[in-house]
């Protein structure tokens, strides 16, 4: 994911890439009003996220996993997959007869 931030010294924009994990500020914002690291980890795990613990006790969540779990649009299966297989059903009845 690229975000273009304007450079103050030049007229053009430079690409900025987010780190592969959520920042402390992002985790704090997501877990408001919780401030303790252990409480934040419990909250994140309760949301279905895989959470690792940093050496200082803070939560470590991969950005790609967070986006995958929190974005239900990508988890929806195509509508064509939900229809029954009528041809297969008829064929199975013909085999039984």
What is the model's pTM? 0.60
Cβ atoms within 10 Å, residue 27 = 22
Asked if the structure places residue 51 within a domain, the reply is yes
Asked if the structure places residue 85 within a domain, the reply is no
Mean pLDDT of 40-65: 95
Asked if the structure places residue 8 within a domain, the reply is no
In the prediction, which pLDDT does 84 show? Answer: 78
Write out the residue range of the structural domain in which residue 58 sits: 20-77
Asked if the structure places residue 30 within a domain, the reply is yes
Number of structural domains the chain divides into: 1
Asked if the structure places residue 26 within a domain, the reply is yes
3-class secondary structure, 55: coil
Asked if the structure places residue 91 within a domain, the reply is no
Residue 12 pLDDT more than 70? no
For the chain, give the mean pLDDT: 82
Asked if the structure places residue 43 within a domain, the reply is yes
Which single residue is written with the structure tokens 């273009």?
A: 4
Asked if the structure places residue 69 within a domain, the reply is yes
In whole angstroms, give the CA distance from residue 22 to residue 26. 6
Among candidates 51, 61, 69, 70, which has minimal Cα distance to 26? 61
- Decide which of 81 and 61 is more confident: 61
């Amino acid at each position: 994911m690229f975000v273009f931030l304007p450079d103050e010294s030049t007229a053009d924009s430079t690409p900025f890439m987010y780190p592969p994990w959520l920042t402390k500020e992002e985790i704090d914002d997501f877990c408001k009003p919780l401030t303790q690291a252990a409480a934040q980890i419990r909250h994140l795990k309760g949301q279905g996220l895989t959470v690792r613990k940093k050496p200082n006790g803070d939560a470590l969540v991969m950005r790609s996993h967070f986006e995958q779990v929190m974005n239900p649009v990508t988890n929806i299966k195509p509508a064509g997959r939900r229809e029954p297989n009528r041809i297969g059903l008829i064929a199975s009845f013909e085999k039984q007869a």
